[in-house]
Amino acid sequence: MPRAFHPIVLLGAFVLLAGGVAGCRATTPATFDPSARDVSSIEAPGLDPDSRPDWYRDYMVRGPEHAVLDRFVGRWTFEIRSWLAPGMPEIPPDSGTCEYEWIMDGRFLRGRYDMTLLGEPYEAEDTLAYDRYRGEYLATWIDTTRTSVRVARGTYDADRAELTMSGTDDDPIMDRRDQPFRSVARFVSDDEIVFELFSRAPDGELFVASVVTARRVR
């Protein structure tokens, strides 16, 4: 039975690192309020970049929150332990490799995964970002077991060195739509991350469906 991970998302595989980046503490996302900005000087977006006010340009470039993602850059190996439901035996573990690199002038972080999943070749691609408009981290996930895009949003807590992401996803096998999921990344060190992926159990409660341990390749 194929499984769709998001590191993490693996958040399904593994992602979001930071061993103490100041200034990125988890808070209620700050929503951009256009009414609080003076937009009278903007005639048409893109016509004259120099006429754009500083607050507008701030949303176009990376900010200090992106520094949390810097530590993903490089090559990693990971091992996945999984359970289909609470109390069920552990599925035989899977392992693989991934590599992260910045794209689009450091605005987005792209990760590519290669592994064997339940005996079958498996590829995935992850995109991580910090949405300065919404004030939250964002992750998208695509892989060779699906034709949909998985989306997660969340916040980083610098005091706890944890990134918590959540969203909903469909379960075609059980014919269930919009199933909630949540992932918590715990940053053990600069070279090790442990992810816990929570899925919905038959009784409706969230349980730890996967534990992903990622280690940096030196």
Angle at 157 between CA 192 and CA 83, to 5 degrees: 55
CA distances from residue 1 to 81, 118, 120, 216 in whole angstroms, order as listed:
15, 8, 11, 29
* SS3 call for 139: strand
pLDDT for position 47: 57
CA–CA distance, 145 with 121 (Å, rounded to integer): 10
Q: Which of 158, 161, 174, 215 is nearest to 191 (CA)?
A: 215
Q: How confident is the model at residue 117 (pLDDT cuts 50, 70, 90)?
A: confident
Q: What is the pLDDT of residues 18-32, one digit of tens each?
A: 222 223 333 334 444
Nearest to 16 by CA among 158, 142, 181: 158
**C-beta neighbour count of 39 within 10 angstroms:** 11
The mean pLDDT of the chain is 80
CA–CA gap between residue 29 and residue 135 (Å, rounded): 5
Query: Which residues pair with residue 76 across a beta bridge?
Result: 98, 216
Q: Which carries the bigger pLDDT value, residue 179 or residue 18?
A: 179
143-153 confidence digits (pLDDT tens): 999 999 999 99
- CB contact at 8 A, 155 and 164: yes
Q: Identify the band that residue 7 occupies on the pLDDT scale cut at 50, 70 and 90.
A: very low
Yes or no: say if 201 and 207 are a contact pair by the CB < 8 Å rule: yes
| Beta bridge partners of residue 74, listed in sequence order | 100
Residue 70 pLDDT class (50, 70, 90 cuts): confident
| Nearest alpha carbon to residue 76 among 184, 215, 218 | 215
pLDDT in tens, 81-92: 999 999 999 998
Domains of the chain, earliest start first: 64-216 (2.40.128.20)
What is the SS3 assignment for 84? coil
Pairing outcome for strands 176-189 and 162-171: antiparallel
Report, as an integer, the average pLDDT of 122-127: 96
Cβ-proximal residues to 137 (8 Å cutoff; 6+ apart), any chain: 16, 65, 68, 128, 129, 130, 131, 153, 154, 155, 156, 163, 165
Average pLDDT over residues 163-174: 88
pTM: 0.75
Picking from 36-45, 160-169, 188-197, 199-208, which range would have the lowest pLDDT averaged per residue?
Answer: 36-45
